[in-house]
Amino acid sequence: MNQRATHIHILGICGTFMGGIAAIAKQAGYRVTGCDANVYPPMSTQLEAQGIELIEGFGSEQLELKPDVFVIGNVVSRGNPLMEEILNRNLPYISGPQWLAQNILHDKWVLGVAGTHGKTTTTSMLAWILEYAGLNPGFLIGGVPQNFGISARLASSFFVIEADEYDTAFFDKRSKFVHYHPRTAILNNLEFDHADIFPDLAAIETQFHHLVRTVPGNGLVVSNGREESLARVIKRGCWTPVEQFGNTDGWHIDDNEQVSLNGKAQGTLQWDLMGEHNRMNALAALAAARHAGVPVAQGLAALAEFKNVKRRMEVRGTVNGITVYDDFAHHPTAIDTTVAGLRRKVGTARILAVLEPRSNTMKLGVMKDALPASLKNADQVFCYSANLGWDAAASLAPLGSKAIVKDELNSLIEDIATAAKPGDQILVMSNGGFGGIHEKLLQRLTQN
C-alpha cells in the first residue's frame, strides 16, 4: 500500500480496534473518515473529539469521499452495499491489521500480547511499565487502561499491541496477529474459544504457530509454562529465544508475591489486583518489559501503581453495604479465576455471580457444560438466558437451588435485589453492556 496515502475511510470504525486505528492514523497525520451501522457514544464521541468525521450506515454514496484507500473492519461482510460497490469499481481496500502493520508498525519495536484470556489487562500492564520507565510507548488496546484513559495512541519507537487471534477480514481469514511482526511476543495462554470461526483447539494452535514463525531471532517469546497447548505450539518450530513464566524454571511468583527468575529473587509484587490470573499476567508483562530494557525492579515499581482496565473487576457502586462489580469475564476459565480472585479478597462474604453468556462461543453453547464448575466459588448464581440457543437452566442444574435463570432482565434484577443482603458482593460478568444492569441494579438496591 502506498504510504503516501493521506485520506483513509474506515468501514466499521466504531469497534474498539478500528476506532483505535482511526485515532492512531489521525495522530500520524492522515485525514480519517469512517462509517458504521451503530454510531453512538462513547466511541462516536471519542472519534468526533479527534476531528474524525463519522457517517451512519454503509451507503454507497460514501464513495464520493474519494479516499486514497478504504480500510475494512472484520464486521464488514459480502453483501454490505458500500463494500460491494468498492469491489465492483475495483477501488483500493485493505484490512485494518494490514494497514496498521504497513503504515504504523513497520519501523517500530512491536510488543504483541496474545492469548485466550488476559490480553487486554496484560497489554495495559506492559504499556504502563514502559510508560513508567520513560519509554513513551504507543499502544492499541481492546479496552481502556485507567492509567492512560485512552485505548490507543501513537508515540515512540515502542508499540504495545493486543494481538488478537480472531480473523482479520472477510477476505483474510488469518488471525489479526500474523500482521504485526512483533519483536517481543507474549503467549499468555491458549484454550479453545471463538467457536464461530475455529473448529477445534488444534486450528487455533496453528494460528499461534504462524505468529511464532514471525518473531525474529533477536526477539523474545514469553510463554505460559503451564499450558500444554503452548508447549505444542513451540515444539512445532521456534527460531527465537523463549522465556517461560508460571513455572519454577522461568519466571515465578510465590504465595508471598515474591518474583523470581530462574530461581533468583527479583523483588516483590505489591498491588491491589486480585487473582492468580493477574499474577500470571504480571509475570508476562515483566518479562516482556525486561526484553525492551526495563529492569525488573522498575517493572515491579510500575505495577505497584497500575490501576487496571475498565470492566476488569471494576467497582460500580456500593448501596446498603452491597458492592456491585463489573467484569468482562465470559469464558468459563475466566469466570472461574475471576470468582476465585474475589473469593480470596472477601473471605466468607457471600458472592452473588450474575452472568450473561453473550460471546459467539457462549451463544453456540460450546462451553455450557463447563459453566457449573466455573461458578463453584459463588454462593448464588443468576444467569440471563435471553437469545441463547441452548437451555441455560438445564446446563446450570448441577448447581441446584443456588442457580436462578431468567430470560427477562427486569425480573432477573428483581431476583438479585431480593436475594442481596448487606455485606454481599455482586459480581456481574459479561463481554457486553448487559442492558445497563449495573446502574439498574444499584438503583433497585436503594429500595432494599
CB 160, CB 137: distance < 8 Å: yes
At 4 the pLDDT is 55
Closest CA to 66 of 1, 22, 9: 9
Supply angle C-alpha 143, 27, 42, rounded to 5.
35
Q: How far apart are CA 227 and CA 362, in angstroms?
A: 22
What is residue 442's DSSP assignment? H
Segments of 78-183 assigned E as strands: 93-95, 109-114, 138-140, 152-153, 158-162, 167-169, 172-175
Q: How far apart are CA 154 and CA 171, in angstroms?
A: 27
User: Terminus-to-terminus CA distance in the chain, angstroms?
Assistant: 60
Q: How far apart are CA 381 and CA 386, in angstroms?
A: 16
At 175 the pLDDT is 93
Q: How far apart are CA 59 and CA 73, in angstroms?
A: 16
Q: From first to last of the 448 residues of the chain, give the pLDDT tens digit.
A: 444 569 999 999 998 899 999 999 999 999 999 999 987 666 788 788 889 999 999 999 999 999 999 999 999 999 999 999 999 999 999 999 999 999 999 999 999 999 988 899 999 999 999 999 999 999 999 888 889 988 899 988 999 999 999 899 999 999 999 999 999 999 998 987 766 777 889 999 999 999 999 999 999 999 999 999 999 999 999 999 999 999 988 999 998 999 999 999 999 999 978 778 899 999 999 999 999 999 999 999 999 999 877 777 889 999 999 999 999 887 888 899 889 889 988 999 999 999 998 876 677 777 888 899 999 999 999 999 998 889 999 999 999 999 999 999 999 999 999 999 999 999 999 988 888 999 999 999 999 8
Q: How far apart are CA 279 and CA 302, in angstroms?
A: 14
At 2 the pLDDT is 44
pTM given for the model: 0.79
What are the backbone angles phi and psi of residue 306, rounded to the nearest 5°? Answer: -75, 130
Q: How far apart are CA 312 and CA 31, in angstroms?
A: 34
Q: What residues are paired with 237 via a beta bridge?
A: none
Q: Which contiguous run of DSSP H or E holds residue 87?
A: helix 81-88
What is residue 311's DSSP assignment? T
**Ordered structural domains, the chain, with CATH:** 7-95 (3.40.50.720), 107-303 (3.40.1190.10), 314-445 (3.90.190.20)
